[in-house]
Structure 1
Amino acid sequence: MMRIASVYLLGALVLLTTACKKNKRPDSGHIGKNSTATGIAYNAKEGFSTPKSFKGQPTGPNLVYIEGGRFVMGSLEEDVAGVHDNVERTVTVQSFFMDETEIANVHYLEYLYAVQKDSSQEFYESALPDTTVWAGEMAFNDTYVDQYLRYPGFRMYPVVGVSWVQAQDYSAWRTGAVNNDLARKATSGGKKGGRKKKGEEAATDATAEAASKQYSGGRAAIETGYVLPNYRLPTEAEWEYAAKALIGTQYLDENQSNQRIYPWDGSSMRKSSGKKKGTMLANYKRGRGDYAGIAGKTNDGAIITDEVYSYPPNDFGLYNMAGNVNEWVWDVYRPTTFQTFNDLNPVRRDGYLDDEKNYGKKDNNSLLDNRTRVYKGGSWADIAYWLAPGTRRYMDQDSATATIGFRCSMIASGRKR
């Protein structure tokens, strides 16, 4: 009797499994063999080609996944300047990727090498950082002018002297460089000399075959899933959301136990517990003339910038979202932005609803126009106030300083991770 019961149970499980498979609806990860609209097979030799299965957008080099959500954008500190340009407002930001570190000198030198080889001399010269940002008539910073960008000892220090426009150009080049490499690996088995050996999965995949036909100049068609969306500067909302990293304050369901003034808990600039209690959490200026403390007991360990992996990461795994260097973001600056922008994926692209002519730059009454860009985060030369993610400052998109660098972001497309 027990054997008969076992047979019936096994049969029931088989039927249930079969029924589940038949009733499974296609989704973006698994669309099935045939189109549910036309019945025509995907990946046919002639006709539309797309992967039968898609594991999701891969994480590009140096990127960290940032799960989106709502947060209160704006400053939680006293508005000491009295500009009221960062009043609090609840917004929602989609999921996205962000560089875990600032772009370092070695990364930018890689870019300069590529454009010098493949672009005009004029563009190469326009891409060069302004190393004279270190110079000062009353300061002996000559060594930084000559050495900071190119000397190997500074390779993993954040690149500075880069304008907003140059940062955008770098992002565009990086998109092409990464996608060229991804497409080559996908269509040649990771080797420049040919496709994978017989029997390997990618070699028999019709999608890879289709991609290789579309592989021209190093780029596969976006439908193949072998290429990533564009690298770009983060929006101000994305940057601030990622810096606060409120995922670390989550408490049951959708409640958060506290807000954050800085990218870490509490109002102190030092680690409050553990073996490294008392150590600095960021690279900043403590006061007039105090950039690093005294010899033998430096407080933050850096007189100017520091390496991009220095100091503890925040709860998203991002380094130096406060201090080290300020960072360019996408947005045009307006003091009234928080009152007018959308509450879903907010960004200010130009002077919409707040025209530049209202500020009188032509009459030298203001510095604001549609070329004025926001930067955030505080730097090695800033006091603690500017390290709060909600604070914001601005500068012309063609200008550069020794205190501003950047990192890139990328949209997270489609399926949840």
Structure 2
Amino acid sequence: MPRFSRRLLVVLTGLPLLSACFRIGPPSSAFNGLYSTSTGTRLQPHPIDYNGFPDDRVLYFSSRGAACPVAKPKFQSTAMQSGGRLPSLPGILLIGADWGIDEAEIPNQEWRQYELAGGSAAARAPRPEALPQSDYYTDPFYLYYPVVGISREQAAEFCRWRSRVVTREINKDLHHPDSLSTDYVRCTYRLPTEAEWEQAAALSAGGSTCLEMPLRVEPRAAAYLQRRSGSRTDVACISADIKAYNATQPLRSIINYDQAEPYFLRLATPGYVYQGPSNAQGLYQALGNVAELVQEPGITKGGSYQDPLAACTLKARGSYRGPAPTVGFRCVCTVSYPNRK
């Protein structure tokens, strides 16, 4: 029986999909499940099986011993929270009365679904010269790492494609596919405005203003971290070094930025999109990891894994000059009923 990819996998009706083999945890390269976190449609599987360590079991942040109060991080479902005008939508968290935002940066896995949906593969594929590693987009190790190496225009086209797919699926599910029906729902995905991005990102991680939290690294993830960091150190040595590191009861920033840390935690690429505590609203990696595109041309928000901490703040702006290994995005969604007066 298949494993499902989400803590609570929700179909477009908002009802839980239950299974005796239901897996509790976010999607990862090891357990990516059956359904897209962007559209709710059936996933097209990766042609190469991944047999490595699960992304979500590598780093464990804890509120115990934190320097400031930290609410227990809570996982959100893939569905929009109830309330407001919006129906349940995959991957979207309700922020305003009539709009929501992706809980995570768009990962390679979801971009692959878009690329496989048709059209010119060459036009949709990330730019090879703008990837952090040559196999970053093609190797299943990076399935749930943020898609990078794409242009602003490509991100906008992804949003338009997602709008069409989700609009079709949600109307089918609600039994009013007739586009002239008064109950016909139109889902519109787009890049967030800078103001929207700041509103969503302003809610502090784990319900706290802490930037550092106690961290435990899983020693069994030594081979995973060897790959992620690009280290040439032997796996057994990395495992021993992880155990020694854990014994110091370390604090680490919850933000993926260019920080001083042990060699096995360094990032040769952006990191797993569901890493670390979410903010109080359920948003992951709003600060750091990859700088995120917004509607306003020429700027990015949030900073990246290659930036100093000062660039990974709510009000900081980065510059966008084209596809880069440090730039990704997430979508905002609004819902309208075009046939209602």
Report if TM-score (shorter chain) is over 0.5.
yes
Question: What TM-score, normalized by structure 2, do the two folds share?
Answer: 0.59
For the structure 1 residues 158 and 281, does the alpha-carbon distance in structure 2 shift closer, same or farther, using more than 3 Å as the test? Answer: same
The structure-2 alpha-carbon separation of the partners of 1:109 and 1:222, relative to structure 1 and needing over 3 Å to count, comes to farther
- 1:16-165 correspondence to structure 2 within 5 Å: 56-67=85-96, 96-115=99-118, 119=119, 121=120, 124-134=121-131, 144-145=133-134, 147-165=135-153
Given that 1:59 and 1:65 are in contact with CA atoms closer than 8 Å, whether structure 2 keeps it comes out as no
Q: 1:377 aligns with which of 287, 296, 302?
A: 302
* 2:273 is equivalent to residue 312 of structure 1: no
Shift of 1:126: 1.9
Are 1:97 and 1:410, in contact at CA under 8 Å, matched by a contact in 2?
A: yes
- 1:25-52 deviation per Cα after TM superposition (whole angstroms, max 9, x unaligned): xxxxxxxxxxxxxxxxxxxxxxxxxxxx
Gaps of 5+ in 1: 1-53, 69-94, 135-140, 188-210, 215-219, 250-263, 333-372
Q: Which whole-Å CA distance do the structure 2 matches of 1:331 and 1:315 have between them?
A: 26
- Report if the CA contact (8 A) 2:101-2:332 is conserved: yes
Match for residue 270 of structure 1? 212
Counterparts of 2:276 and 2:293, CA distance in 1: 20
Residues 302 and 222 (structure 1 numbering): CA distance in 2 closer, same or farther, change over 3 Å?
farther
Is 2:334 aligned against 1:411? yes
Match of 1:280 in 2: 253
Residue of structure 2 equivalent to 1:183 = 171
CA distance in structure 2 between the partners assigned to 1:247 and 1:405 by the alignment: 20
Structure 1 residue 248, shift from structure 2 partner: 8.6
- In the superposition, the TM-score normalised over structure 1's length comes to 0.49
Deviations 1:358-402 (A, max 9, x none): xxxxxxxxxxxxxxx221111111110111010112224xx1100
| 8 Å CA contact 1:112, 1:128 repeated in 2 | yes
The answer (yes or no) to whether the contact 2:85–2:335 under 8 Å persists in 1 is no
Shift of 1:321: 0.4
Displacement after TM superposition at 1:304 (Å) = 2.1
Partner of 1:125: helix, strand, or coil? Answer: helix
Q: What is the rounded CA distance, in whole Å, between the counterparts of 1:221 and 1:232 in structure 2? A: 24
Q: Please give the secondary structure, in 2, of the residue aligned with 1:318.
A: coil
Number of matched residues?
Answer: 224
Structure 2: segments with no counterpart, 5+ residues: 1-82, 217-245
What's the CA shift string for 1:207-241, capped at 9, x where partnerless? xxxx35x2xxxxx447314x343011000000011
Counterpart residue identity of residue 270, structure 1:
E
Deviations 1:159-186 (A, max 9, x none): 0001111100000000111112222223
- Hey, what does 2:190 align to over in structure 1? 232
Give the Cα–Cα distance (whole angstroms) in 2 for the partners of residues 148 and 132 of structure 1.
11
Residue-by-residue CA offset, 1:124-148 (whole Å, 9 max, x unaligned): 32222112113xxxxxx6xx21x11
How many angstroms does 1:328 deviate by?
A: 0.1
**What letter is aligned with 1:321?**
A
Cα distance in 2 for partners of 1:312, 1:328 equals: 22
* Percentage of pairs with the same residue: 29
Match of 2:319 among 380, 383, 394: 394
- Report the CA distance shift for 1:402/1:248 in structure 2 as closer, same or farther (over 3 A): closer
- Deviation of 1:272 after TM superposition, in Å, equals 6.8
